[in-house]
A and B are shown apart, each in its own frame.
Chain A
Amino acid sequence: MLGYIVAILYIISVIFAVCTGGTEQLSSSVFTSVKSAVDLVLTLCGVMTFWCGIINVLDKKGIVNRLSRLISPILKFLFPNAYKNGACGEISANISANILGIGNAATPLALAAMSRLQKLNGNKDVASDDMVMLAVLNTASLDIFPATLIALRQSAGSQSPYSIILPTVIASFLTVVFAITITKLFSLVF
């Protein structure tokens, strides 16, 4: 899947750069983005090492399980297979981190959830329904407090930096409902 996306982006970019005479820019952008990929992984390394350690502690002490019991009706509907096998711990932690806006904790938790779901997966090359649901849910942000954007608005001299909170919550909620509906429907077809 990713192979096709990269192929399309490469081909379009090269054709464009040749037509507009920006080939030099194109070549230099490759090296800067490769460097930024390494930076990103280094940042992720720190965050992931830290959070996966913390989560392992909380998990082994049964705290994650208690958390998932709180939202179990939702989990049962969204992730039926994981729920049946009692593998919802990381998923509920990921959802909580998203809602609370601890963005840098959400990715490690989601990856931990993915590896847990992969253990339950029959065919290791093909995504399971639960995996698709987790990924799509994470592409729709559940964040109820867009802190970075508010800070950005404040620094840009907005009269009411907080005015976006309620519309964002409403739009997020509707988007998530849409995402869940469409993923459930498509999982019947694909």
Chain B
Amino acid sequence: MQYVSSLILPSILFFVGILFLFDKNGFEIFLQGAKNGFNTAISLLPTLVLLLSAIGMFTSSGAVDLLCKLLAPIAERLAVSQEILPLLLLRPVSGSGSMAMASELFKKYTADSFACLCACVIMGSSDTMLYVISVYFSSVGIKRTRHTLICAFLTLIFCIFISCFVCRIFFT
């Protein structure tokens, strides 16, 4: 499986190489698209600076610890392991941060513990919500995102709940 997915990118590139060989305009077409991609990426900087500074402040201020304490009883109600609460709080805001947190949990509770299995499944079936939303909409200059945030938030809650549920069926 890992091997198959590692072949996808090379085969696309092989195909593009053949296209370049037989089409004189291929290179021009590539440059045109590439320029657009570059401009979009650059235009994201102001949004990301603002967002990441807020997230950095939030995680360094110690507010996360208090939130974990506040959320512990709710997590218990939903049968979500308390150990993974810090990870759950980081997941929507930071991809690399939540990955690092997962790695720490592995060290603390061993990778095969129930809490860590839950953490893995949650990580694998969710994405950095805040990053996705802000980058997508700011790249096209949308100011009102309507129901995006509430839907994404509810989806994350559902994802956490269903992941722990599926894990309980599989691993206990």
Q: How large is the interface on B (under 10, 10 to 19, 20 to 34, 35 or more residues)?
A: 35 or more
Whether B142 and A45, one on each chain, are in contact in the complex, defined by CB atoms closer than 8 angstroms, is no
Is the C-beta of A58 less than 8 angstroms from some C-beta in chain B?
Answer: yes
Is the C-beta of A124 less than 8 angstroms from some C-beta in chain B?
Answer: yes
In chain B, positions 7-57 with a C-beta closer than 8 Å to chain A are 8-9, 12-13, 16, 19-20, 23, 26, 29-38, 40-42, 44-45, 47-57
Is the C-beta of B77 less than 8 angstroms from some C-beta in chain A?
Answer: no
Report the separation of the CA atoms of residues A68 and B125 in the bound assembly, to the nearest whole angstrom: 24
Whether B2 and A145, one on each chain, are in contact in the complex, defined by CB atoms closer than 8 angstroms, is yes
Q: For residue B127, which residue of chain A has the nearest CB?
A: A141
Main secondary structure of the interface of B (DSSP, over half): helix
Report the separation of the CA atoms of residues A34 and B54 in the bound assembly, to the nearest whole angstrom: 10
> B120 contacts which of A52, A136, A164 (Cβ < 8 Å)?
A164
In the assembled complex, the CB of A141 is this many whole angstroms from the nearest CB of chain B, namely: 5
> A44 contacts which of B41, B57, B130, B134 (Cβ < 8 Å)?
B41
Among A70-78, A79-87, A177-185, the one that faces the other chain is A177-185
Whether A139 and B142, one on each chain, are in contact in the complex, defined by CB atoms closer than 8 angstroms, is no
Whether A175 and B155, one on each chain, are in contact in the complex, defined by CB atoms closer than 8 angstroms, is yes
Main secondary structure of the interface of A (DSSP, over half): helix
Whether B134 and A2, one on each chain, are in contact in the complex, defined by CB atoms closer than 8 angstroms, is yes
Q: Which residues of A contact B156 (CB under 8 A)?
A: 139
Q: Which residues of A contact B51 (CB under 8 A)?
A: 2, 5-6, 37
Whether A29 and B59, one on each chain, are in contact in the complex, defined by CB atoms closer than 8 angstroms, is yes
Whether A40 and B48, one on each chain, are in contact in the complex, defined by CB atoms closer than 8 angstroms, is yes
In the assembled complex, the CB of A113 is this many whole angstroms from the nearest CB of chain B, namely: 9
Report the separation of the CA atoms of residues A41 and B59 in the bound assembly, to the nearest whole angstrom: 21
Q: Which residues of A contact B53 (CB under 8 A)?
A: 30, 33-34, 37
Whether A1 and B144, one on each chain, are in contact in the complex, defined by CB atoms closer than 8 angstroms, is yes
> B121 contacts which of A110, A159, A171 (Cβ < 8 Å)?
A171
Whether B146 and A171, one on each chain, are in contact in the complex, defined by CB atoms closer than 8 angstroms, is no
Q: Which residues of B contact A161 (CB under 8 A)?
A: 111
Report the separation of the CA atoms of residues A150 and B120 in the bound assembly, to the nearest whole angstrom: 9
- Chain A residues with a Cβ closer than 8 Å to the other chain, count: 103
Whether A2 and B47, one on each chain, are in contact in the complex, defined by CB atoms closer than 8 angstroms, is yes
Whether A171 and B102, one on each chain, are in contact in the complex, defined by CB atoms closer than 8 angstroms, is no
Whether A101 and B140, one on each chain, are in contact in the complex, defined by CB atoms closer than 8 angstroms, is no
> B54 contacts which of A1, A6, A55, A108 (Cβ < 8 Å)?
A6
Report the separation of the CA atoms of residues A157 and B41 in the bound assembly, to the nearest whole angstrom: 38
Whether B142 and A164, one on each chain, are in contact in the complex, defined by CB atoms closer than 8 angstroms, is no
Whether A190 and B19, one on each chain, are in contact in the complex, defined by CB atoms closer than 8 angstroms, is no
> B146 contacts which of A20, A47, A132, A182 (Cβ < 8 Å)?
A132
Whether B5 and A126, one on each chain, are in contact in the complex, defined by CB atoms closer than 8 angstroms, is no
5 shortest A-B CB distances, which residue pairs?
A: A56-B33, A52-B37, A33-B56, A53-B34, A156-B106
Q: Spell out A's residues near B (CB within 8 Å).
A: 1-2, 5-6, 9-10, 12-14, 16-17, 20, 22, 25-26, 28-30, 32-34, 36-38, 40-41, 44-45, 47-61, 100-102, 105, 107-108, 110-112, 114-115, 117-118, 124-127, 131-132, 134-136, 138-141, 143, 145-150, 152-153, 156-161, 163-168, 170-172, 174-175, 178-179, 182-183, 186-187, 189-190
12 chain-A/chain-B pairs, Cβ below 8 angstroms = A5-B51, A6-B50, A25-B61, A47-B41, A50-B34, A52-B34, A55-B33, A127-B137, A140-B159, A168-B124, A172-B125, A175-B159
